[in-house]
Amino acid sequence: MDYIYLKDVTFTYRGNNKPALLKINLKIKEGEFVLITGPSGCGKSTLCRLLNGLIPHFYSGELSGEIKVLGISVIDTPTYELAKYVGMVFQDPENQLFLSTVEREIAFGLENLGLPVKEIKKRVEAVISFMGLESIRDKAPYELSGGQQQKVAIASVLAMQPRILVLDEPTANLDPYSSMELLNMIARLNRERKMTIVLVEHRLEALLDKVSRLIIMNNGRIILDGTPSRVIIDKKAKIVGVPKVIEVYEKLKNYGIDFGNPPLSPEELVNMIKSRVGAIERGSRRG
């Protein structure tokens, strides 16, 4: 079964003439880690809002096509029902956090589901330990740094044990180091928990080596969709700006030095070079 299934989806916000999404076709399977990027206004946030039913249940407009999450029709299912399966994290964690302690914040959604106290406690403990939040469990969300707040927002979504996690620019307000920590944590969720993840981000250079699939959107359409190493060397990817290591790879190629697949991080480029140099040295020793 496709975890996410969109067929010919077109959506126009009320009051607009131009569709925000145009004939989107997309299938995402269990365990995929999908990065969606594109110029602002390309429709990537709108796509996220479809996945947990914010569209059409909160944002009105004209919607056509078919949207299914875990086989359930998004259009026919209320958002509170969808929230059990799809966890959403936004740019600004402050809009998502409102309780007096981190622990209560994480428990809140579970209390709403009407789970037994024992189960709630178990889940809260598990999430706190997985996310490494022990030292801040009794703090109020407003006492935390932006990076910590965003971790708490993710923790409270994870406690609901969703099957799919959707994150819309979660690092937009974080400094580079906190961003890297958060993105590493998201990658770990995918790797260790097999969580299906849809992540919208501009920071390609930090993510190419972590995701299994890269989608680039422009003007409401998907213009590229595939593995990061295939997509990133496509000419059309230039509209999102390619990382510097890709630039190096392409320039070397122009000089006849081809590494085959592009390096997705500095470490990958360095390994490619070291093994090439090693091979040359072994060859010259033999000769």
Partner 1 sequence: MQLSEVVVEVKDLFFSYNSQFVLKGINLEIRKGEMIAILGENGAGKTTLIKHFNGLLKPSKGFVKVFGLDTRKVSVAQLARKVGLVFQNPDHQLFAETVEKEIEFALRNFGFEEEVIKRRVDWALNLMGLAEYRNRSPFTLSIGERKRLAIASVLCYDPELLIFDEPTAGQDYLQKERIAELLNLLKTRGKTVIIVTHDVEFVVTRFERVIIMSSGQIIGDGSTREILTNLNILSKARLLPPQIAKCAWLLSDLNIPKDLIYPEELVEKLKDLISGGHE
202 by Cβ neighbours in 10 Å (0-12 / 13-18 / 19+) ranks as middle
4 by Cβ neighbours in 10 Å (0-12 / 13-18 / 19+) ranks as buried
Closer CB to partner 1, 31 or 266, in the complex: 266
User: Least distance in Å: CB of 161 to partner 1?
Assistant: 32
Candidates 166, 162, 163, 156; CA nearest to 108 is 156
DSSP state of 273: H
Rounded CA-CA distance 65/11 in Å is 9
Binding status of residue 7 toward partner 1 by CB under 8 A: no
Closer CB to partner 1, 12 or 148, in the complex: 148
Q: Which stretch binds partner 1 (CB under 8 A): 19-27, 158-166, 186-194, 241-249?
A: 241-249
Rounded CA-CA distance 108/131 in Å is 17
Where in 154-173 is the site for partner 1 (CB under 8 A)?
172
| The only residue of 54, 99, 113, 252 in contact with partner 1, by rule CB under 8 A | 252
3-state SS assignment for residue 123 = helix
User: Least distance in Å: CB of 206 to partner 1?
Assistant: 8
* Residue whose structure tokens are 């070397």: 252
Where in 41-60 is the site for partner 1 (CB under 8 A)?
41
Whats the size of the chain, residue-wise? Answer: 287
Using CB under 8 A, count the residues that bind partner 1.
39
Binding status of residue 113 toward partner 1 by CB under 8 A: no
CB 96 within 8 A of CB 90: yes
Mask: binding to partner 1, 255-284, rule CB under 8 A, as x and -? xxx--------xx-xx--xx-xx--xx--x
Closer CB to partner 1, 1 or 255, in the complex: 255
User: Least distance in Å: CB of 202 to partner 1?
Assistant: 6
Binding status of residue 177 toward partner 1 by CB under 8 A: yes
Closer CB to partner 1, 117 or 280, in the complex: 280
Candidates 34, 37, 28, 74; CA nearest to 54 is 74
DSSP state of 262: P
Which residues is 28 bridged to in the sheet? Answer: 4
Binding status of residue 209 toward partner 1 by CB under 8 A: no
Question: What residues line the site for partner 1 (CB under 8 A)?
Answer: 38-41, 145-146, 172, 174-178, 180, 202, 205, 239-241, 243-245, 247-248, 251-252, 255-257, 266-267, 269-270, 273-274, 276-277, 280-281, 284
